[in-house]
Chain A
Amino acid sequence: MSDLVAGPAPVEPPGKRFNWLVLVYVLMTLAVIGGAIFFVVGGAGADPTGGCGGG
């Protein structure tokens, strides 16, 4: 009954809804990158070919 008086609910403009999934992925990516930097830079270094297989 109140809808007939007040009218239909306003339509949300397109593109305005915040994409929480993207935020989760961004935060996850930052955590992964941070963890990688911690392990790699704090580790045993690298040989010129990128691994540590030079013996």
Chain B
Amino acid sequence: MAEADPAIAAGGSITRWWLVATVALTLSAICAGVLLAPPESSRVGPALTSLLFLGASVHVGSTAWFYGVPAVRCHMWRNPKRYLVVPAVLVVATVAAVLLVPRSWVPVGLLAFFAWQFFHFQKQNLGVAAIAARATGSPSLVPSERRAIVLAGCGGTAALVGRPELLRIAEAPEVPGLFAVGVAVFAAAAGYGVVAVLSRTPTGRSPAFLVVYLTSLLFFAPVFLFDSPYAAVAGITIAHGLQYLLLMGLLAAAPNETGARSVVGVLVLVNVAVVVGLGLSQASHFHEAHGWTRAFYGIYLGLVMSHFVIDAGLWRLRDEFPRAFLTQRLPGLLARRSTPALAE
């Protein structure tokens, strides 16, 4: 598949490797969530616990690595609102909320948090599909293709909010009919997306790009197929994190602005991600705490939401700095190229 595509060949082994790894990690994570899901009222096993730690807390923790990259730190200082002020406000506000708000309000707050989290998942899938278009030399995603992916994510998110038992939120309010709305929106968006992508010319839809696009479009399918919370949700949580860690690993391993490449850079990323991830994971267990220690739970929620905000800025290829930084580090994936047929 990859050898028949000259654009993938032009990108080199990193393009082939990233395309295969992204799809393989996504699909195997979803399968792992299904196969390792514990029976109801049983404890989740060590394998799934480890995968969830990697896909959730470690991937969020890896965002801290960006603060150690001089070029990114400069960009953050020039844009303090997104990278400094908003994260600080989110942490302080969430700590205040968990300490002061009546406990009966917490499930509603958690539903809003998870709605944002799953929308963030789908924004990443949109980004992955956009990168796949660049990496394979296919034309950029057109508005209808982008809209389909975002709407499919909205459908999946609505379905999860409509069935809070899939998120294991105790005493969450049920919104009658919301799950059915989610089904309808997801199905319509999936059909719309398939029609949109198949209407590309044959040279504009390489098999590799098609596979990544469809994986992004149908990402939330497990939510509609399984009643077990772990089978429905854990797999997509792990898949999201592994996609992110793959890209972060490539960034850390890439030559920096001076052209220097260092294995120590990758090891620093691993250490930062695991240590910060461990802190997040432990903090998340304070949701049942009383007194001031409950603040750790607020810090956990605030930092996860900060990750959503920071990511939305640093991976936005339409903005000048992210485009320049990411293209300089990952030219094999992001440097614009076109197939000979499209160039004529």
Contact = CB atoms under 8 A, between A and B. Distances in A.
A55 B237 contact: no
Given A50-B237, A50-B241, A55 B107 contact: yes
Contact of B56 (A29, A41, A43, A49): A49
A39 interface: yes
Contact of A46 (B56, B166, B275, B278): B56
Nearest to B43: A45
B117 A49 contact: yes
Given A29-B271, A41-B50, A50 B285 contact: no
Interface in B227-281: 229-230, 232-234, 237-238, 241, 263-264, 267-268, 270-271, 274-275, 277-278, 280-281
A26 B271 CA distance: 10
B264 to A, nearest CB: 5
A48 B171 contact: no
B94 to A, nearest CB: 11
A1 B114 CA distance: 77
B62 to A, nearest CB: 13
Interface string A3-23: 000000000000000000110
Nearest to B265: A25
Contacts of A28: 267, 271
A49 B263 CA distance: 31
B50 A37 contact: yes
B264 A25 contact: yes
Contacts of B106: 55
A55 B287 contact: yes
Interface in B27-72: 33, 43-44, 46, 48-50, 52-53, 55-57
B169 A50 contact: no
A32 B287 contact: no
B268 A51 contact: no
A52 B277 CA distance: 13
Contacts of B232: 48
B278 A54 contact: no
A49 B114 CA distance: 9
Interface string B272-299: 0011011011101101100000000100
Interface in B202-248: 229-230, 232-234, 237-238, 241
B282 A39 contact: yes
Given A40-B50, A48-B166, A55 B285 contact: no
Nearest to A25: B267
B278 A36 contact: yes
B281 A40 contact: yes
B234 A39 contact: no
Contacts of B46: 41
Contact of B169 (A25, A44, A54): A54
Contacts of A55: 106-107, 110, 168-171, 287-288
B167 interface: yes
Given A36-B277, A43-B285, A53-B287, 12 more contacts: A22-B267, A39-B278, A41-B49, A46-B56, A48-B33, A50-B52, A50-B56, A51-B57, A51-B304, A53-B110, A55-B106, A55-B110
Interface of A: 21-22, 25-26, 28-29, 32-33, 35-37, 39-41, 43-55
